[in-house]
Amino acid sequence: MPIRTTTLPSGEAVPVLGQGTWHMGEDRSRFAEEVAALRLGLDLGLTLIDTAEMYGNAESVVGEAIAGHRDSTFIVSKVLPSNASRSGTVAACERSLKRLGTDRIDLYLLHWRGGVPLRETVEALEALKAAGKIRHWGVSNFDADDMEELAALPAGGNCQTNQILYNLTRRGPEFDLLPWCRQHGMPIMAYSPVEQGRLARGGKLDAIAARHGATSAQIALAWTMARPGVIAIPKAVRAEHIRQNVAALDIKLAPENLAELDRLFAPPPRRQPLEMI
């Protein structure tokens, strides 16, 4: 079955469930296992893969996994803020392209804000897009005021997404950042949607999971993907977990389930600074 999609501001449809790669490639002995995991995900329809230059050798793992499947994948990577100058962004992108073994990145993100003026980074991203090195660009770990500043730049309206920490225990963005993104027709990408596994182990989701014949991790993931305009990018290496992630797409959380989750994990009553890990 095809994966449910959401739409970027450009009009392009992208899956609401992808594959994360944080910490992949750090242990050379697990390289083949990680490549196989990503390939299984691709076979199951998880064609969006998120990576970054910061993730050690993860881009090389992705490059091996997508070999022969490039045209059917949607690759997201990121430039470090320390490399985000006009020339540094271009050079970082070229290095990522080499590690990924491809001629273009589908969505290239500024990983978080640093000392380089935002206007300069945006100009570099626009230059990369004009050169065909990237198809779209976006940002990561930007709060609502950062998004306002970005939108005010000459090409700021070309931003396609904001990748942030968002899950049942990190609901702060719901107060102002998510409404801002929805108003501008921009999906967010939720990293660590299962809170690096802690939501699978905490016990608070066990009762709801049992009623759905699911795992706690699947409930946490289903909740994230049920939010309008949210793309979840969990990392999984075990085949069992990859299959469970895909199966979470079929979990329908009824209004009473969502109300129960609100009682267990309260939505924010006021603005909170954006969290990062």
The catalytically annotated residue of 55, 108, 166, 191 is 55
Q: In which residue are the tokens 């993907």 written?
A: 225
Question: Contact at 8 Å (CB) between 59 and 31?
Answer: no
Question: Contact at 8 Å (CB) between 69 and 42?
Answer: yes
Tell me how far CA of residue 38 lies from CA of 20, 61, 155, in angstroms.
9, 9, 34
Helices (H) then strands (E): counts for the chain: 11, 9
The DSSP code sequence of 184-230 is TT--EEEESTTGGGHHHHSSTTHHHHHHHT--HHHHHHHHHHHSTTE
Token pair for residue 102? 């491809």
Token pair for residue 30? 């697990």
Amino acid identity for residue 150 in this structure: L
Number of neighbouring beta carbons within 10 Å of residue 132:
9
SS3 107: strand
Compute the C-alpha angle 71/191/18, nearest 5°.
Answer: 30
Token pair for residue 257? 């389930």
Question: Contact at 8 Å (CB) between 231 and 48?
Answer: yes
Say how far apart CA 178 and CA 185 lie, in whole Å. Answer: 10
Specify whether 55 is catalytic.
Answer: yes
The residues assigned a catalytic role are: 55
